[in-house]
Amino acid sequence: MELRHLKYFLKLAEELSFVRAADKLFISQPPLSRQIKELEIELGATLFERNNKRVILTDAGKFYQKEIQELLKNLERINIQAKKISENQSGEFRIAYVSSTFSGDISKLIQFLSAQYPYVNFRLYEVPTVKQIAALEEGKIDFGIIRSPLHSPKIDSHLWFKDSFSLVFNRNNYSISSEGDLESLKTATFVFFNKQYAPYFYDALLEICAQYGFNPKVVHESNNISSIIQLVKNGLGISIVPTAIMKSHNYPELGFVELRKTALFTDILLATPKGNPSEISQAAIQFLTEQNLKDEY
Q: Regarding the domain delimited by 90-162+267-296, which CATH topology (the fold level of the hierarchy) does it fall under? A: D-Maltodextrin-Binding Protein; domain 2 (3.40.190)
Look at residue 90 and tell me whether its pLDDT is greater than 70.
Answer: no
Long-range contacts of 278-282 (CB under 8 A, 24+ apart): 278/84, 278/88, 278/142, 278/143, 279/84, 279/85, 279/88, 280/88, 280/93, 280/113, 280/117, 280/120, 280/142, 280/143, 281/142, 281/143
Nearest to 225 by CA among 121, 108, 103, 67: 103
Give me the DSSP letters along 36-97. Answer: HHHHHHHHTS--EEE-SS-EEE-HHHHHHHHHHHHHHHHHHHHHHHHHHHHHHHSEEEEEEE
Mean pLDDT taken over the chain: 86
pLDDT of residue 145: 95
Homologous superfamily assigned to 165-264 = Periplasmic binding protein-like II (3.40.190.10)
Note the pLDDT tens digit of each residue in 13-72. 999 999 899 999 899 999 999 999 999 999 999 999 988 778 999 999 999 999 999 888
Whether residue 213 contacts residue 183, with contact meaning beta carbons closer than 8 Å, is answered with: yes
Whether residue 136 contacts residue 253, with contact meaning beta carbons closer than 8 Å, is answered with: no
Whether residue 288 contacts residue 160, with contact meaning beta carbons closer than 8 Å, is answered with: yes
Nearest to 269 by CA among 92, 107, 98: 98
pLDDT of residue 128: 85
pLDDT of residue 201: 79
Mean pLDDT for 194-220 is 85
As assigned by CATH, the class of the 3-87 domain is mainly alpha
Same fold: 90-162+267-296 with 165-264: yes
Mean pLDDT for 263-268 is 84
Whether residue 181 contacts residue 133, with contact meaning beta carbons closer than 8 Å, is answered with: no
**The model's pTM:** 0.61
Enumerate the domain spans of the chain: 3-87, 90-162+267-296, 165-264
